[in-house]
């Protein structure tokens, strides 16, 4: 498909059918994919940190950086494109733990915390999570298709799956 948009770290993007949203090399960040099945509007956020509220020195206004603010911003963007709130469902990917140390450092658990934060925000907004491929210790490339909302998850060495 021609209409392919790359979503980089701390970015988010939404589009009307037809199109594909892609994130390459998702690690500890969480990929939040939202889909309006009827209107075929898709949105993808690539959030780095769980919450905009937990950050000291947060002088920036980069909403895509945090799972909580990224979800809200992405919803707004999709509604602007004609999606209806009640039709929207969610899929999650990423949140891996890339390195291991002998203690439970913050840097190590960030992937897990990102996934938890995304789930909490989606629950609060009453958006159903219909599938996820999260955790583990490996990177993922994700492709989100507008025709049927499938999320293709590719890895190096662990194959490809569809969620």
Q: Residues interacting with another protein, by CB under 8 A?
A: 8-11, 24-29, 48-49, 55-57, 59-60, 62, 65, 96, 98-102, 105, 107, 110, 137-141, 156
* Residue 31: closest CA among 40, 22, 41: 22
**Of 45 and 127, which CB lies nearer to another protein in the complex structure?**
45
Smallest distance, Å, CB 117 to another protein? 13
Q: 150, 161 in Cβ contact below 8 A?
A: no
**Active site residue: 29, 47, 115, 142, which one?**
29
Question: Could you write out the DSSP letters of every residue in 78-126?
Answer: HHHTT--GGGEEEEEEE-------SS--HHHHHHHHHHHHHHHHHHHTT
Closest contact distance (angstroms) between CB of 158 and another protein is: 10
Shortest CB 72 distance to another protein, Å: 18
29 in catalytic set:
yes
Catalytic residues: 29
């Amino acid at each position: 498909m021609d209409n392919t948009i790359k979503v980089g770290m701390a970015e988010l993007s939404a589009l009307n059918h037809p199109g594909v949203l892609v994130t390459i090399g998702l690690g500890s960040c969480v990929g939040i994919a939202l889909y309006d099945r009827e209107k075929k509007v898709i949105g993808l956020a690539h959030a780095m940190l769980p919450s905009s509220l937990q950050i000291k020195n947060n002088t920036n206004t980069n909403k895509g950086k945090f799972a909580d603010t990224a979800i809200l911003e992405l919803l707004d963007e999709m509604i602007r494109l004609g999606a209806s709130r009640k039709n929207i469902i969610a899929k999650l990917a990423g949140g891996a733990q890339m390195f291991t140390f002998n203690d439970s450092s913050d840097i190590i658990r960030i992937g897990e915390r990102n996934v938890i934060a995304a789930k909490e925000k989606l629950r609060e907004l009453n958006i159903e999570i219909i599938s996820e491929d999260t955790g583990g210790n490996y990177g993922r490339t994700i492709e989100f298709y507008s025709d049927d909302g499938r999320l293709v998850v590719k890895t190096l060495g662990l194959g490809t799956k569809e969620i």
